[in-house]
Structure 1
Amino acid sequence: MGSEKRANVWLAVAGLVINSNGEWLVVKKKYGGLKGKWSIPAGFVNANETIDEAVVREVKEETGIDCMVKGIVGIRSGVIKEEISDNMIIFTLKPTATYSVTVQEKELEEAIFVNPELLKHDPDTSVLLKYYMEMLENQLTTINDTVNPGDIFGYTSYKIFY
C-alpha cells in the first residue's frame, strides 16, 4: 500500500546552466505543458541517484553538455488534480569544459545558449523561467558531500544542500 501512495509523489530536477558569457541554456520541448515554450532542461530523478546527479544527467541527455552543480535556485512544488504531488528542485550549473549544444531530437525542438534579457519579452518564455530571471546570485545554496550520517541508514551517497 505504501508504494502505491509514493507513485503519486513525483521528484524532478531542472538545470539552469549559465556559461562564462552569462548566457542561459534554454530548450523548447516537443511535448507536454511546455511544448513550444523556452524552459530549462529537466526530468525525473531515478531511484539510483541523488538530485544533483540527476540534474547533471538530464542536462547531458538533453543537450550533450557536461556540467557542474553550483547551487540550488529554488524548489517548485504543486499538486496536480488533487492527486499527484509534483516537486521539482531547480539547480544552477556551469559547463565543465568546452562545449557545443547537441539537441536531443526525440524530446526537443531546440536548445541554445541565449542572453536572458532576450527572453524577458519573448511570449514563448515559460512562467518558471521568467520567475528565475529575477533571482539573485546570493540566493544560491552550496553542497556539502563530506557528512557521514552513520552506517545505520546504509547511505551510499549523502549530501546536504544549505
Structure 2
Amino acid sequence: MDSKRGNVWIAAAGLVINEAGEWLVVKKKYSGLKGKWSLPAGFVQPGEMLDETAVREVWEETGIRSEPVALLGVRTGVINGNISDNMAIFLLRPRSERIIVQTEELDAAAFLSRAALQADRDTSGLIRYLLALEPLAFLPPHNGLNPGDPFGYTKYRLYFESLKGKE
C-alpha cells in the first residue's frame, strides 16, 4: 500500500491538442512511464474535481494553460490485487503555447505530431491506444445541474452523452 494515498488512487490526465493537431506529451523521470512519452497526469487533490486536476497537472508539468473540452475515457485497474488505480482522461484545449518543462518530475515535454508519436519507440501504450482510436470520441461537459441542496456540492459537472437520436 502507498501510505500517502491509501488503497484507492484517483487521478486525471489531459490530452492537449494544439491547432496544428500535435499532442502535448511528457517524459517522466520515474515510475513505469520513465522515459516514455505519456500524458501529463497526477492525483486529485482535496477540493478538486477531476477535470480541474487534468488542467492543473498540465499547467504544473508543462506550463501550458488549458481548459476542459470533454471526457475521453477512464483507465481503471488494480495493482498487486490491492490498490484500486483510477484515472479519468480529458481532452483539453490549449490556452497558451510556450512549454516550460517542470524538471523535478520530467525529462522532456513537447507538442508532437501523431506520426512522430507512432514512429517513436518511447511512446507509451496508452498514447498508442489513443492514436489508434482516431477520430477520438468524447463526452462534452454539462454545467448548471443542481443535484439538490442537501448534498452540499460547491462544484458540480456532468460528462454524459445523450442517447436521443442514436437509434
Structure 1 residues 38 and 138, CA, compared in 2 at 3 Å: closer, same or farther?
A: closer
TM-score of the aligned structures, taking structure 1 as reference length: 0.93
How many Å apart are 1:158 and its aligned residue?
0.7
Match of 1:58 in 2: 57
Q: Distance in 2 between matches of 1:138 and 1:80?
A: 28
Q: 1:7 Cα shift?
A: 2.5
Residue number among 110, 125, 142 corresponding to 2:140 in the alignment: 142
SS at match of 1:139: coil
Ranges in structure 2 where 5+ consecutive residues have no aligned partner:
161-167
| Deviant stretches of 4+, over 2 Å | 135-138
**1:100 paired residue number:** 98
What's the Cα RMSD here?
1.4
Counterpart of 1:54, as a letter, is T
Letter in 1 for 2:74: I
Query: When the two structures are aligned, how many residues end up with a matched partner?
Result: 157
* Alignment correspondent of 1:161: 159
In 1, Cα distance between the equivalents of 2:145 and 2:93? 24
SS at match of 1:133: helix
Query: How far does residue 138 in structure 1 lie from its aligned partner after superposition?
Result: 5.6
| Counterpart mapping for 1:6-155 below 5 A | 7-97=6-96, 99-137=97-135, 139-155=137-153
CA distance in 1, matches of 2:133, 2:90: 12
Question: What whole-Å deviation, never above 9, does each CA across 1:115-137 have from its counterpart, x for those lacking one?
Answer: 01111121100000100012244
Any idea what SS the aligned residue of 2:132 has?
Answer: coil
Contact 2:72-2:136 within 8 A present in 1 as well? no
Contact kept, 8 Å, 1:73 with 1:135, in 2: the verdict is no
Sequence identity (%)? 52
User: Structure 1: which 5+ residue stretches go unaligned?
Assistant: none
